[in-house]
């Protein structure tokens, strides 16, 4: 393909990312991912911030991961300061997929405690994946402040992040089983159960924890 042909193909793909039809946007993201080009990076990142369809956003992330991290990292890190929650969330999600630990310093306490649940969930996942050796305990300390937050999916995301950190999470979880807020106690107990037995279903672990809290206990390990 000639240079002019390549430029025409790139321009067509970038226009398609703005199409009203989600199927067209999905195909465009797939095409871009199949033929990575530095010219695509900024537009892919911009589209992530406003794309309304989950499956298209997921394909946009895939397309970005098909480009060298050295081309995408700075653009994704800039998005973490965006006023748009979706921009922050999707950038964190994409950073977790790249697995590049250079992003770690940008995953701040502010992001880990972001008032938007989707942003916080993405930050927890990314942090658990990218945390450098020796930083796990500090990360657990911040994550533990979010116990009891939100509804099932939010709590499940936090539990998964804490379980991914392994035994480092145990002291903070044990301390949280005596918190004054019963929601925190339940969430901490359920997460401890998952830490002990990752095959336990989250719903079962929560219901079991609710029974323990209702009976005024903190579980066998905490007695």
CA of 204: how far to CAs of 68, 103, 194, 210, 211, in Å? Answer: 42, 35, 10, 10, 11
Distance between CA atoms of residues 108 and 111, nearest Å: 5
Cα–Cα nearest to 159, from 136, 190, 127: 190
CA of 132: how far to CAs of 137, 139, 219, in Å? Answer: 11, 10, 32
Give the global pTM.
0.90
Distance between CA atoms of residues 36 and 41, nearest Å: 9
* Residue 48: predicted pLDDT: 97
Q: What pLDDT tens digit does each residue of the chain (223 aa) get?
A: 444 555 577 788 899 999 999 999 999 999 999 999 999 999 999 999 999 999 999 999 999 999 999 999 999 999 999 999 999 999 999 999 999 999 999 999 999 999 999 999 999 999 999 999 999 999 999 999 999 999 999 999 999 999 999 999 999 999 999 999 999 999 999 999 999 998 889 999 999 999 999 988 654 444 3
Q: Which residue has the tokens 């509804």?
A: 151
Domain boundaries defined on the chain: 144-216
* Residue 118: predicted pLDDT: 97
* Residue 221: predicted pLDDT: 45
């Amino acid at each position: 393909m000639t240079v002019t042909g390549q430029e025409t193909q790139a321009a067509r793909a970038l226009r398609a990312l703005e199409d009203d039809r989600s199927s067209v946007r999905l195909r465009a993201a797939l095409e871009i991912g199949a033929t990575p080009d530095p010219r695509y990076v900024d537009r892919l990142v911009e589209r992530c911030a406003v794309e309304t369809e989950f499956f298209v956003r997921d394909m946009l992330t895939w397309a970005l991961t098909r480009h060298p991290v050295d081309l995408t990292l700075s653009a994704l890190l800039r998005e973490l300061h965006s006023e748009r929650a979706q921009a922050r969330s999707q950038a964190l999600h994409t950073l977790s997929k790249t697995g590049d630990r250079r992003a770690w310093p940008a995953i701040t306490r502010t992001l880990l405690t972001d008032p938007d649940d989707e942003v916080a969930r993405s930050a927890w996942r990314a942090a658990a994946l990218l945390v450098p050796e020796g930083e796990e305990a500090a990360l657990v300390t911040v994550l533990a402040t979010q116990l009891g937050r939100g509804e099932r999916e939010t709590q499940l995301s936090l539990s998964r992040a804490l379980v991914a950190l392994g035994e480092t999470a145990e002291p903070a979880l044990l301390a949280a089983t005596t918190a004054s807020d019963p929601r925190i106690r339940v969430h901490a107990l359920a997460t401890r159960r998952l830490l002990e037995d990752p095959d336990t279903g989250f719903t079962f672990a929560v219901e079991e924890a609710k029974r323990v809290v209702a009976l005024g206990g903190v579980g066998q390990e905490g007695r």
